[in-house]
Amino acid sequence: MTKQKVLVSKAAPEAPRKPEAEPERVEETTYEAVASICSVLVVGLFILTFLAQNFVIPSGSMENSLLVGDHLVVDRITLAPPAHWMPLVRYREPRRGDIIVFIKPVSSPGDPIDADGKPEYLFLVKRLVGVPGDHIHLRDGIVIINGVSQAQPNAQPTTPDNFNEFLDEFPSVPPGEVPGSTESWDVAFPNYIQNGDLVVPPGMYFMMGDNRHNSEDSRYWGFVPRANIIGRPLFNYWSFKSPESEYEQTGLVHRIAWMGHVALHFFTDTRWKRTFHRTR
């Protein structure tokens, strides 16, 4: 039996490859770098001006829903007046139960003033309790709207120890009889009382803090006009343990000292569980 030979053809040797030319590196010009930075700043400014805004909680009037040192992203679009140039945005009117950021409608004793001695714009955050047309009164700290008691899962409860007639039986005690109320509200207050209820007029809203016994709100200075509403907080992007007095300080030396404190205690005093916590 003869053996058959299997012939294996050898591949032709490959021709040596020419080294590929390195791509030419194009360096960014100074003009292009500046243009890139400017575009980022413009986009950021647009977002902060029209879409969202950073807001820090300076007081305990909304505890425990919001804590001093919570840093929030505020939606400025949903509650804004509808705009024809943004037809795809979902607009709506403020609703009872919304947490609202707004400009305080009147100044109270102790509010900050500018260099000219005029009251500064003061941004507040409270919960919307009454909308236009609502009849409101409180009985033993329970909010009653249009004759119906409201569920208040976030509100500080009223107890025999913290009961305050002005705060918990509002509007049975006129605001002029308590410290902290404004003169304009004291004068206008009787015009909105019907059968023991406070009636919210058109275009106005009634705000209260969740920390009911430590909140200067609409009970002290009256209604918030629709035009003063800025937006509603979406979520808490950072929360840092802070004393309530911290955000009342304005001196440069104190600001620098506080920045050093934050840098030193960033990991220990950050409330990590509240990071990206949804605001409700």
Known catalytic residues are 61, 126
Handedness of CA 96, 101, 104, 105 (dihedral sign): negative
Q: How far apart are CA 12 and CA 94, in angstroms?
A: 80
**Coil, helix or strand at residue 153:** coil
**Secondary element (H or E) of residue 275:** none
Amino acid at 119: P
How far is the C-alpha of 176 from the C-alpha of 195, rounded, in Å? 19
Contact present, 212 and 152 (Cβ < 8 Å): no
Token code pair at residue 40: 């980022």
Cite the DSSP H helix spans in the chain. 30-46, 165-168, 183-188, 218-221, 252-269
Evaluate the omega torsion of the peptide bond into residue 214 and state whether it is cis, within 30 degrees of 0.
no
Q: Looking at this protein, which amino acid is placed at residue 122?
A: L
